[in-house]
Structure 1
Amino acid sequence: MPLLLTSVFIGAVLQRVSGIGFAMVVAPFTIIAIGPAQGVVLVQMCGVASAIIVLTQVFRDVNWKTYLVLLPASAAGIVIGTVFVSRFPGAEAEIISAIVMLLMLAASVTAGYLREYPRNAGTLTAAGGLAGAMTVLAGVGGVALTSLKEATRWDQRSFVATLQPYLITLSTGTVIARLAAAPDAWPALAAWVWGGIVAVMVVGMLFGAQLTRWMKARHAAQLTLALSLIGALAALADGISKL
């Protein structure tokens, strides 16, 4: 479990510094450690906790109208993603999750180079639906919102704040959908592992708070992308090796 605990710690640090990135860093390594089904559920549970912590600090900047527009399509995406992923066994599911992560990372990087798009009901609905499906498939739905941010030039302060309640809702819905479709998706971890996850998340958030004094959010986001890419490639290789 060292891989799992280390990724949770690093994800918590980066989440505290930049407001995003927890699932992007933790998901691929967690999927390698405990499998795609349990991995996605665990990442979403941890993601809810980290988002709640960040939300307490950015609550006043949340755009609640945007949050509400995102929800219906996200719910539909969760349902579609759950139906899709239930049709594949472990190794295939891990490969699909890794490919989804790589595609989402590529989209988040290239979105900033596209022409600016309006942030309206259409773009929010498309991003929300994609985020819902991708969260169920690979645990990285937040990357779809990062792409939306870049494509619409969404202000960083408002984006990070609005993302927190959205991720809380999205992750909770994903956990419920995953467990309803497959009760064995609940992470079968020893008590000491659960305790370790909580401990490293708390320490990571505290350490991240100290890092904010000298590490810029932009640099934390770049590090998040790099680690996410490494993790996604590792998950892809791991899934292929299990075929």
Structure 2
Amino acid sequence: MTTGIVIAAVIAILVGSTLQRLSGTGVGLVVAPVLALLIGPALGVFVTNSTTVVSGFLIMLAVIRDVNWKRYLIFMPMALLGAIPAAFMVREVDAAWLNIVIGSVVLISLALTFGTPRVPHVRTHALTGATGLVGGFLNTSAGVAAPAMVMYSKFSRWNQRSFAATMQPTFMTMGIFSVGTKLAVGATTIEQLPPWWLFPIIVVTVIAGIRIGAWLAKKVSMDAARRVAITLAGMGGAVAVIRGMAMLA
């Protein structure tokens, strides 16, 4: 892993963590496509999952009073069920197709999440469970669970403050499921992991991003932060699709 790749990865993680502190989401959308391009789709998503474990835990500590634990406990069993088939998919699918899958998931998710007009009010345990299932699958396969959760928040008319807080333990646990299932099925092996010193760098970078996000929260609107996240994620997703197609060609 070259110095340039490490620096680019750190910048992506810093930006993603900052946006996650501002709006509740951001790490997966920004980091997954960037790391997929830098270090390969399977390993890139694995490192993204590891990053969401750290960011979710640290941000949760600051917003834990607003977490809706009832919804979290419905999400999680279903998220594990979604993570298992996704881990097998990551193990079996070619790197070129994984790039296309990751990029397409990001682009389609952005279109659905931020381009969808007002949706009907639906609030059932079945929808909550289905969202956990889809989120777990997307998080493990592409590192991007946020769009499924945002769509759920639109249907359920979930208060933004409670939603953003609940997403932190949700993303943390989904990240643990993703890392664990991929190691268990051999989609990623210990030998393939980045050097050990990258993980302390990730922790420090996430902490820095959270601090910057907390500072910016007093100066930047949530809409502005969301626009930045959409732009960066869209660019990364498009490049990932193009790269995958080029690899196939």
Q: State the partner residue of 1:143.
A: 147
Is the aligned partner of 1:153 residue 2:157?
Answer: yes
Is the aligned partner of 1:178 residue 2:182?
Answer: yes
Aligned AA for 1:238?
A: R
Identity of aligned residues (%): 30
Paired with 1:185 and 1:6, the residues of 2 have a C-alpha distance of 26
Q: State the partner residue of 1:232.
A: 237
Paired with 2:57 and 2:200, the residues of 1 have a C-alpha distance of 18
Q: State the partner residue of 1:26.
A: 31
Is the aligned partner of 1:90 residue 2:95?
Answer: yes
Paired with 2:209 and 2:11, the residues of 1 have a C-alpha distance of 10
Paired with 2:68 and 2:107, the residues of 1 have a C-alpha distance of 29
TM-score where L is the length of structure 1: 0.92
Paired with 1:59 and 1:90, the residues of 2 have a C-alpha distance of 38
Paired with 1:185 and 1:217, the residues of 2 have a C-alpha distance of 38
Displacement of 1:41 in angstroms is 1.1
Count of residues paired in the alignment: 242
Displacement of 1:131 in angstroms is 0.5
Alignment match of 1:8 (pick from 1, 4, 13): 13
* Secondary structure class of the residue paired with 2:92: coil
Paired with 1:192 and 1:80, the residues of 2 have a C-alpha distance of 30
Q: State the partner residue of 2:225.
A: 220
Superposed CA offset, 1:23-45 (max 9, x none)? 11111001111111111111111
Paired with 2:141 and 2:163, the residues of 1 have a C-alpha distance of 23
Displacement of 1:191 in angstroms is 4.8
Aligned AA for 1:174?
A: S
Q: Classify 1:177/1:192 alpha carbon distance in 2 versus 1 (closer, same or farther; 3 Å).
A: closer
Which piece of structure 1 moves more, 147-156 or 190-199? 190-199
Paired with 1:218 and 1:185, the residues of 2 have a C-alpha distance of 39
Superposed CA offset, 1:115-142 (max 9, x none)? 3232211211221111011111100012
Superposed CA offset, 1:155-206 (max 9, x none)? 1011011111111111100100111122645563235544433332222222
Aligned AA for 2:46?
A: V
Query: Which consecutive segments of 4 or more residues in structure 1 shift more than 3 A?
Result: 183-188, 190-196
Is the aligned partner of 1:115 residue 2:119?
Answer: yes
Aligned AA for 1:237?
A: I
Aligned AA for 1:49?
A: V
Q: Classify 1:191/1:166 alpha carbon distance in 2 versus 1 (closer, same or farther; 3 Å).
A: closer
Paired with 2:220 and 2:103, the residues of 1 have a C-alpha distance of 29
Unaligned runs of 5+ in 1: none
Paired with 1:82 and 1:26, the residues of 2 have a C-alpha distance of 19
Which piece of structure 1 moves more, 194-203 or 46-55? 194-203
Unaligned runs of 5+ in 2: none
Paired with 1:172 and 1:53, the residues of 2 have a C-alpha distance of 14
Paired with 1:184 and 1:122, the residues of 2 have a C-alpha distance of 32
TM-score where L is the length of structure 2: 0.90
